Amino acid sequence: MNQYRILIDCADKKGLVFKISKLLFELELNILSNHEFVDSENQKFFMRSVVEGNIEEVSLREKLLEVLDDKVNLHLVSPIKKNIVLMVTKESHCLGDILIRYEAGELDANIVGVVSNYDILGPLVQKFNIPFFCVSHLELSRDEHEAKVLECLAQFKDIDYIVLAKYMRILTPTFVEAYKTKIVNIHHSFLPSFIGANPYKQAHERGVKIIGATAHFVTNDLDEGPIISQDVINVKHDHSWKDMQRSGRDVEKITLSRALKLVLEDRIFVHKNKTVIF
């Protein structure tokens, strides 16, 4: 039997869950799981259902839109593996964690390539038989370098997501627009605290007692995109900022992998600059 993830967000009104469930029953579709949420402040309805049966995608879409009878965002997603590209600079902890999960069959995706502005991580990537591409930024302006990166990415067909696994360069609006809503980043602080460069040094100077990491979608506002996942650990007064950095790497890789799992399973709705996650 075919299986689909049905993602719906629309204006809230009475009877939506009943109408949708009734239609799915009439179409002889089995609901394997169902989650819904109403944002009462914005009068928005969100629903994620996993169904199976003999599904005709076009017919199902048309009938759902008839039932909802409203302006609605509707996505029917077949749970096939998505294609992702990893982008990195020099640090290996997030990249290595993702590659190990991928090798172990824990990552529901196809890693079609790894792109870096240095060649340092090439040997690590090649151990997993994944194509590695070095697009050096040296002696190039930011725009020139990004143009070459975009040219490199263009060779991959149907990229579902780009994962910035410690890619330590700020992306321009041109790049973000080219892969709008498709870029996931890990930031090494508990946002909105310590935005920008050297957040561990900022945290140390502030004397914080916890440090964290934040996985978020990338927008043109630096480190302010919709948040997917966050986590923290305790630090002590005798930690230097480099001690904090070393401790924080574990949080970074776990937070990014957790966020990536949510993304690949289509569990995230973005509304304005916030997320609803099932």
DSSP, collapsed to helix, strand or coil, labels residue 84 as: strand
Q: Which residues of 245-271 are buried (b: 16+ CB within 10 A; e: fewer)?
A: bebbbebbbbbbbebbbbbbbbbbbee
User: Which of 143, 223, 231, 243 is the catalytic position?
Assistant: 223
Cis peptide leading into residue 199 (ω within 30°): no
Handedness of CA 71, 55, 77, 254 (dihedral sign): positive
CA distance 121 to 132: 9
Closest residue by Cα to residue 264 from 158, 107, 157 = 107
* Residue 223 is among the residues annotated as catalytic for this protein: yes
Report helix angle 93-103 to 241-264, nearest 10.
Answer: 40
What is the torsion angle, in degrees rounded to the nearest 10, for the CA atoms of residue 172, residue 173, residue 174 and residue 178?
A: 110
Within 8 A by CB and 6+ apart from 125, the residues are 95, 99, 114, 132
**Cα angle: 117, vertex 123, 128; to 5 degrees:** 110
Identity at 64, one-letter amino acid code: L
The DSSP-derived string for 217-238 is E--SSTT-SPEEEEEEEE--TT
Active site residues: 223
